[in-house]
Amino acid sequence: MIGIFDSGVGGLTVVKEVMKQLPQYQLVYFGDTARTPYGNKSAELVTRYAIQDVRLLLEKGAKLIIAGCNTASAVALDALKREFPDVPIFNVITPAVAKAVSITKVRRIGVIGTTATIGSGIYERLLREKNNGYQVFQQACPLLVPLVEENWLRKPETKMIVRGYLSGLKAKSIDALILGCTHYPLLRTLIQAKVGRRVRVVDPAEETVKTVQRFLATHQDIDSALAKNGKHIFYFSDVTDKVRNIATHWLGQPVKIEQIKIE
């Protein structure tokens, strides 16, 4: 199975893309809703959580892992690869950076993300490594994950907060905006409206699954080890009606969710 983890419901945007681009593969998802958000926690704590999340997914049968969490991708990826050296582990950051580079015309790229993701400086570092004059403008948006987790996707308060976060980036004349958190595609329509049609929005989930697809096409040993045409499995560390509603709405189908304790 393909294993996907996130701090909460945001990783379901990755699930949706797997179901769209790789429909034949069975997947197992873990959303750590009992400990969400990860974005306001220390790198050490996020790393510990991420290792626990991956271990759980492997115990459930995953053979390939997608860190469907930008915060974990930013601060825990190296630790995950050391802890699980024989497991293919994909992050949601480098594919989004590659896409932004391919579409920007003015080399002015915006990034929105959690406090931990923005604080890690990983987007700025990766873009500077391109050594091609890219300018990066970042904005931490710590309120957006809780708003998504509360399913406040269309509330006036959410629109006001998004507008406040994006106003500075809009003034920088960017032409590409990376959604540096997999929760944010759930607000994509609102974000696009506030930043303007001239700015192309990069969805990390979409680009990450494209990367996985290319990987599987050239690694037949891994591809053959993945379960196919099975029923998807969804685990959350805390299950509420909001979680069920978001999952059903976003994936467009009823979702059977199991609660699982993680320590």
Catalytic residue set:
69, 181
* Cβ neighbours of 24 (radius 10 Å): 9
Polymer length of the chain: 263
In order of 20, 118, 127, the CA distances from 255 in angstroms are 16, 32, 38
Which SS3 state, helix, strand or coil, does residue 87 take?
coil
Cis upstream peptide for 204 (omega within 30°) = no
| Rounded Cα–Cα distance for residues 147 and 153 (Å) | 7
Strands 64-67 and 200-202: unpaired
Distance CA 50, CA 55 (A): 9
List phi, psi (to 5°) of 164.
-65, -40
Contacts of 201 (CB under 8 A, 6+ apart): 176, 177, 179, 188, 191, 192, 195
